[in-house]
Amino acid sequence: MIETVDLTKKYGDFFALESLTLKLDQGDLFGFIGPNGAGKTTTIRILSTLLSPSWGEAYVCGHSIYTHPREIRRAIGYMPDIFGVYDDMRVIEYLEFFAAAYRIDGPARRKVAERSLDLVDLGVKRDELVTSLSRGMTQRLGLARVLLHDPQVLLLDEPASGLDPRARIEMRGLLKRLQDLGKTILVSSHILPELADICNRVGIIEYGQLLACGEVSDLLAQVRGRPVVRLEVADDPEAAARLLEDCEGVAEVTVRDGLVRATLAEAGADTSLLPARLIAGGVRLRSMREEEINLETAFLELTKGSLGRQPDGARRGWGKLEDDTASSDDQLSKS
């Protein structure tokens, strides 16, 4: 559904996006992770045909961004991180206005608007003024707007930005529901744990370069290295650490915050030897578990030291060139 080959956007000597090669299949919920200015918005704007790349190719639903931009705009729903609303319109009027822009005519227009409101659970606000909506409800309205023409692909730029915890949870539920409907979704964010919960695939980007891409479990395994077992003992943790230092399969033992951390020599090592050694040494064991690596840890590990890959001049300009995200509703609604 989405494919890019060596996609690059360059401003002078600065690479906002460099040689991005990516492929998403139908039904993928893809999390595009990176700090502000990493190249996420640049990528989304190129895929939505609102920004021309310097070179490289991109296809959406089999259509090239160079030769078939109209077909791509009909097939996608693009939600920028910041979008304008018409304050003097009611919610249902706002959606009907954009349905008309998508050339949905007659009785079907109201039906389509009502359907979109139901999909995002905003039906109870149908007759409220847009200006009365909270930030979370406004985000829902923006999502309802891009669903009006039933797009196959959704490009969502920071949809959870500025939302409170409850609204973020509700947004995650909406995205999962849309995935269940067969939509292919690319959602960008710098809020790492949220995407780990809902996405079947993620990509980590920094300074315009895709550093890693794949299933969440694969990325975590990539940075896990040697497993670490955390043990809580009822007695002296220093004494427990000394007992485990020469235990078979253990590479290193440390004590931190009153807990014993045993780094195993390799994945799959027999951890049953650890409690056995402690019990034989007269140490009472309260708990033992393997430390988990989350997506945030993986991000920090994978992006370590990448600052040095950009020249000094590019680093000084970083973040200034990407987020030229003026409202593009009129362009996308043309067909």
Q: Judge if 148 and 6 occupy the same domain.
A: yes
| Continuous segment of H or E residues that includes residue 216 | helix 216-224
Quote the pLDDT of residue 192. 67
Residue 219's identity, in one-letter code, is: L
Q: Judge if 114 and 190 occupy the same domain.
A: yes
Domain span at residue 245 reads 228-290
Tell me the helix, strand and coil percentages in the chain, rounded to 5: 40, 25, 35
Residue 162 has pLDDT above 80, yes or no: no
Quote the pLDDT of residue 193. 67
| Continuous segment of H or E residues that includes residue 112 | helix 107-119
Domain count, the chain: 2
Lowest mean pLDDT among 82-91, 151-160, 281-290, 305-314: 305-314
Distance CA 103, CA 231 (A): 63
Q: Judge if 118 and 267 occupy the same domain.
A: no
Find all residues with CB under 8 Å of 161, minimum gap 6, and list them.
Answer: 81, 189
Residue 310 has pLDDT above 60, yes or no: no
| Continuous segment of H or E residues that includes residue 15 | strand 14-24
- Number of neighbours of residue 97 by Cβ within 10 angstroms: 15
- Find the mean pLDDT for residues 8-31: 94
Inter-residue contact 331 to 76 (CB < 8 Å):
no
Q: Are strands 153-157 and 184-189 parallel, antiparallel or unpaired?
A: parallel
Q: Judge if 305 and 274 occupy the same domain.
A: no
Concatenated DSSP letters of 59-108: EETTEETTT-HHHHHHHEEEE-SS----TTSBHHHHHHHHHHHTT--THH
Q: Supply the CATH number for residue 268's domain.
A: 3.30.70.100
Find all residues with CB under 8 Å of 330, minimum gap 6, and list them.
Answer: 101
pLDDT in tens, 45-104: 999 999 999 999 999 999 999 999 999 999 999 999 888 788 889 999 999 999 999 899
Distance CA 176, CA 167 (A): 14
Q: Judge if 142 and 243 occupy the same domain.
A: no
User: For the chain, give me the number of helices (H) and strands (E)?
Assistant: 13, 14
Quote the pLDDT of residue 293. 67
Quote the pLDDT of residue 308. 42
Quote the pLDDT of residue 171. 85
pLDDT in tens, 103-139: 998 889 999 999 999 989 899 999 999 999 988 889 8
Two tokens at 108?
A: 């079907």
Q: Judge if 200 and 145 occupy the same domain.
A: yes
Q: Judge if 164 and 61 occupy the same domain.
A: yes
- Find the mean pLDDT for residues 291-315: 58
Q: Judge if 285 and 313 occupy the same domain.
A: no
Find all residues with CB under 8 Å of 35, minimum gap 6, and list them.
Answer: 190, 206
Residue 305 has pLDDT above 60, yes or no: no
Apex 334 CA angle, 89 and 40, nearest 5: 90
Q: Judge if 140 and 283 occupy the same domain.
A: no
| Continuous segment of H or E residues that includes residue 117 | helix 107-119
| Continuous segment of H or E residues that includes residue 311 | none
Inter-residue contact 189 to 32 (CB < 8 Å):
yes
Quote the pLDDT of residue 11. 94
DSSP, collapsed to helix, strand or coil, labels residue 24 as strand
Q: Judge if 233 and 206 occupy the same domain.
A: no
Q: Judge if 174 and 275 occupy the same domain.
A: no
Q: Judge if 91 and 192 occupy the same domain.
A: yes
Quote the pLDDT of residue 224. 65
Pick from 134, 87, 86, 95: which is nearest to 117 by CA?
A: 95
Quote the pLDDT of residue 304. 60
Q: Supply the CATH number for residue 69's domain.
A: 3.40.50.300
Residue 153 has pLDDT above 80, yes or no: yes
Residue 316 has pLDDT above 60, yes or no: no
Quote the pLDDT of residue 235. 84
Quote the pLDDT of residue 312. 43
Quote the pLDDT of residue 3. 96
Q: Which own/partner contact pairs does 214-220 have at CB distance under 8 Å and 24+ positions apart?
A: 216/295, 219/295, 219/298, 219/302, 220/293, 220/294, 220/295, 220/298
pLDDT in tens, 217-256: 777 766 666 788 899 999 899 999 999 988 888 888 999 8
pLDDT in tens, 169-206: 888 888 999 999 999 999 998 766 667 778 889 898 98
Residue 333 has pLDDT above 60, yes or no: no
Of residues 162 and 316, more confidence is placed in 162
Find all residues with CB under 8 Å of 68, minimum gap 6, and list them.
Answer: none
Quote the pLDDT of residue 223. 65
